[in-house]
Structure 1
Amino acid sequence: MGDYFQTIVDVDATAEDAARLGAKVVAWLVAEGIVEAEPSNCVLDGDGRGHAAGPRYGTAVHDDTYENGGLYVHVGRTMFDSGQGHPEAVTCPHCSARTELTLADQPWEPDDEAWGPFRGAIRGWDEGDAEATKVGCRSCGRAAPVDRWRWKDDFFAFGHLGFTFWNWTNLRDAFVAEFSPRLGGHRTVELGGKL
């Protein structure tokens, strides 16, 4: 069966601002009745720090018939991903050239030649090594940090603040759109998947 998740990542939050912004969003969600105020053990690997669905949970989702799980707030350097599978493609932030990362004859197998530089850059991002995060574009030759490349289907997002909703049905677009203004206009990325 597995566990499903949807994550909204603030890709502009700094390490210094993440905890404050995360608390601000949780306070909003509690005030709206979307999540419970008291942390609990309601999410996968939440160590008792999840927030269960609140009485007005249904205002955030398309179908409120399944109320299992809750919200987990990630604060700190995190590479967010879509769970199972591999990223299929990535687009250069400079020239918009697209790099296919999977083999054409085996669509779910990574192309090591194309994927290799990104794998190393992701490791560099995890370790906080700014120089190791850069990947050169095969088309324009310019390099950019891995967190600035645009991943197909938002397979990856990199940031210091993320909000993961575990086992909720699809989040409403209007609900997701509320996050950016509450985060000071920061750019957000939404991704989801299954473990």
Structure 2
Amino acid sequence: MGDYFQTIVDLDATERDAQELGARVLDWLIAQGIVNAERTDCVLDGDGYGHEPGPHFAKAVDDPEPVDLWSNGLHVQTGRTVFDSGQGDAGAATCPLCLTEIRLVDETWQPIESAWAPFQGRFHDWAEQGGEGIVHCPSCARPSGIDRWSWEDDYYACGQLGFTFWGWAELSSGFTREVGRKLGGHRTAVLRGKL
């Protein structure tokens, strides 16, 4: 058992525009009836308060059957955050400069410590210290910020803005594209996970 969630992360939002973009998308979701305007105790992150599904939530999901769970709402998060998929870990990371995939687990899904070494502490540096979290690629040896790396199955995403849907059916690709358009065409990542 567990609680499932999906997070749409804006990969391009800056610290300065994250609040405004989050409010813009939330206003659109409310106007469309996808979520309710009132905040209630319905999510597992932040302060526990989020927006319950609205009367037209089915516009956002592939399966329109309502889910009757306590944790069944939307949480909007702003600020430097390393979003992740909950249980487990990423199987691989891809360098943004040379596009080499670095395997992080072996064939039995055990972490490869030497492969993880360049990433140690970099998420913390980026999220908590406000730095770039510089990673030197094991393949090309060039430096780049941890926020520029991509992760197998979108396991991690570094961003200033995220929309987490708790207990919803799978978000449709059309809906996630429309959220990207409402964000001004920003690149997005969709993380799916379980706690």
Cα displacement (A) at 1:44: 1.1
Q: Where in structure 1 do 4 or more consecutive aligned residues deviate above 4 Å?
A: none
Counterpart for residue 34 of structure 2: 34
Residue identity matched to 1:35: V
Q: How does 1:49-128 map to 2 (within 5 A)?
A: 49-67=49-67, 68=69, 69-104=72-107, 106-107=108-109, 109-128=110-129
Deviations 1:165-195 (A, max 9, x none): 0000101110000011111111111111100
| 1:47-94 alpha-carbon deviations (Å, 9 max, x no partner) | 353000000011111112233301000111110001100111011111
- 1:130: how far off? 2.1
Contact 2:30 2:54 (C-alpha < 8 Å) held by counterparts: yes
1:130 is aligned to 131
Q: Give RMSD over aligned pairs.
A: 1.3
Task: Give matches, 1:132-171, under 5 Å.
Answer: 133-171=133-171
Alpha carbons of 1:39 and 1:194: their partners in 2 closer, same or farther (altered >3 Å)? same
CA–CA separation in structure 2 for the residues paired with 1:154 and 1:43: 22
Task: Report the CA distance between 1:120 and its aligned residue.
Answer: 1.6
CA distance in 2, matches of 1:137, 1:46: 33
Task: Report Cα offsets for 1:76-116 as digits up to 9, x if no partner.
Answer: 11100011001110111111111000123x32x21111112
Deviations 1:17-51 (A, max 9, x none): 11111010000000000000011111113435300
Paired residues, what number?
Answer: 192
What secondary structure does 1:37 align onto?
Answer: strand
CA contact (8 A) 1:39 1:48 kept: no
Preserved contact between residue 8 and residue 190 of structure 1 (Cα < 8 Å): yes
TM-score by length of 1: 0.94
Instruction: Specify the alignment match of 1:3 in structure 2.
Output: 3
Letter in 1 for 2:139: S
Alpha-carbon distance between aligned partners in 2 of 1:48 and 1:166, rounded to the nearest angstrom: 11
For structure 1, the residue ranges without an aligned partner over 5 or more in a row are none
Runs of 5+ consecutive residues of structure 2 not aligned to the other structure? none
Q: Percent identity?
A: 53
SS of residue in 1 equivalent to 2:6: strand
Taking a change above 3 Å as real, the CA distance of residues 111 and 173 of structure 1, as seen in their structure-2 partners, is same
